[in-house]
Amino acid sequence: MSDLAYFEYALVLPEERYLIEVQTHKPASGELRGQGEIERIAKECLVLVNGEGHRDQLEEVKPNSISESNAQTLTKVQQLLNRPGAVYLVE
């Protein structure tokens, strides 16, 4: 089992699909992050990728949590962000 939590998010217009990988442990301390913190990081990553102008729309959005095996079935096309949460454009 990896040290990542996986989320999927899709936009209709423009049609884009994202994979968000969030580190489940804090790098500095190794402390396990809570589910709320992990989801907040995933949302913040979506805002960063889509621009601050979309912040009001994305605050209400909940990325879908997916399993590691489901995440592995997605083809990563381009990495858009690399932080405690990495965001990939996927097919």
Quick: pLDDT tens for 37-88: 999 898 888 888 877 666 666 667 778 899 999 999 999 999 999 887 899 9
Count CA atoms within 13 Å of residue 63 on its CB side.
Answer: 28
pTM of the model: 0.83
Amino acid at 59: E
Q: Which domain holds residue 57?
A: 4-90
58 touches 1 (CB < 8 A) = no
Per the structure, the count of domains in the chain is 1
d(CA 80, CA 89) in angstroms, rounded, equals 7
Give, for 46, the enclosing helix (H) or strand (E): helix 35-50
In degrees rounded to 5, what are phi and psi of residue 58?
A: -85, -15
Question: What is the number of other CB atoms lying within 10 angstroms of the CB of residue 82?
Answer: 11
